[in-house]
Structure 1
Amino acid sequence: IMRDAYENIMEDFVEDFSEVVSTSIIDEEDVTTNKEIDKASDDLDDLLADLI
């Protein structure tokens, strides 16, 4: 029981005091890919609209 309690305390301590900052980096390739996906989505929307 003591081992589990100590383990939980240490896990909480690490979670509370670890300062891992996650940063998102968007490069030009990501922007280009997103634009291509948006264009493909728009094209598909147009095709579906023509079918209805």
Structure 2
Amino acid sequence: MSLLTVHAATAYVGYWAWAVLPDGPWDEDDLTGIETGCALMILSGALTLAFP
């Protein structure tokens, strides 16, 4: 898998996490999705650092 593929997936997840708007502070489903997307971005960024 190339780094371009990983970066493209990271950009997609980042945009998705940014574009989802929760209905309010009570909307735990959307907030959990945003938190998961951010965690996936951090994980994929760390994985790309492992490959020179």
TM-score by length of 1: 0.50
Q: Which has the larger radius of gyration?
A: 1
Whose relative contact order is higher, 1 or 2, with alpha carbons under 8 Å and at least 6 apart? 2
